[in-house]
């Protein structure tokens, strides 16, 4: 449970799977997507072990209240980055975890030389969209397509 007067948000880069992180993310991910595959230890280890991803967690009062995955990849036009799977626990929204996670991801992308950082957000997530715009993200004239293999 998050206290009413939280400490500062602490951002960690997850470098190994532990029971706390697995349990916390297992609880958070249904708030992000009801259609996501169940999170397993093996899947979480694959995310952490991938050289192209950084899994960040946000703690308030010592409790993991949010997470974000930063994906960095090289294509012919240079190093690019994407922010994926941003989730903050409903009970902790408004405490600054989303801002802290996104700011940390932007700093990591810049440190690695990414030319751009993209993200997508559901239009109905008004607070998240306002946050991203305050952090300098601008909507692109683009259409996103998705297909299962």
Residue 77: both structure tokens together: 């036009």
Q: Is residue 91 part of a domain?
A: yes
What is the pTM assigned to this prediction? 0.91
Q: Is residue 108 part of a domain?
A: yes
Domain count, the chain: 1
Tell me which DSSP letter residue 64 carries.
E
CATH code, domain carrying 72: 3.40.630.30
Which residues, other chains included, contact 121 with Cβ-Cβ below 8 Å and sequence gap of 6+? Answer: 86, 128, 129, 132
Residue 51 has which token pair?
A: 């050289």
Q: Is residue 138 part of a domain?
A: no
pLDDT bin (cut points 50, 70, 90) of residue 6 is: low
Residues 100/106, Cβ–Cβ less than 8 Å:
no
Domain membership of residue 136 (yes or no) is no
* 141 assigned to some structural domain: no
pLDDT digits (tens, 9 = 90+) for 15-66: 999 999 999 999 999 999 888 888 999 999 999 999 999 999 999 999 999 9
Residue 28 falls inside a structural domain: yes
Provide the residue range defining the domain that includes 37: 10-128
> Is 131 exposed, middle or buried (CB count within 10 Å of its CB: 0-12, 13-18, 19+)?
middle
Q: Residue 1 domain-assigned?
A: no
More confident residue, 123 or 79: 79
Beta-bridge partners for 117: 81
């Amino acid at each position: 449970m998050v206290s009413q007067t939280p400490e500062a948000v602490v951002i960690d880069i997850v470098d190994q799977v532990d029971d706390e992180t697995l349990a916390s993310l297992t609880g958070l991910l249904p708030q992000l997507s009801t259609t996501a595959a169940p999170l397993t230890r093996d899947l979480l280890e694959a995310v952490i072990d991938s050289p192209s991803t950084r899994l960040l967690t946000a703690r308030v009062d010592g409790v993991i209240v949010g997470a974000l995955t930063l994906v960095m990849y090289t294509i012919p036009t240079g190093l690019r980055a994407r922010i994926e799977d941003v989730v903050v626990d409903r009970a902790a929204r408004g405490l600054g975890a989303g801002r802290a996670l996104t700011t940390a991801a932007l700093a990591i992308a810049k440190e690695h030389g990414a030319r751009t950082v993209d993200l997508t957000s559901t239009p109905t997530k008004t607070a998240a969209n306002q946050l991203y715009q305050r952090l300098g993200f601008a909507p692109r004239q683009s259409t996103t397509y998705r297909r299962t293999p």
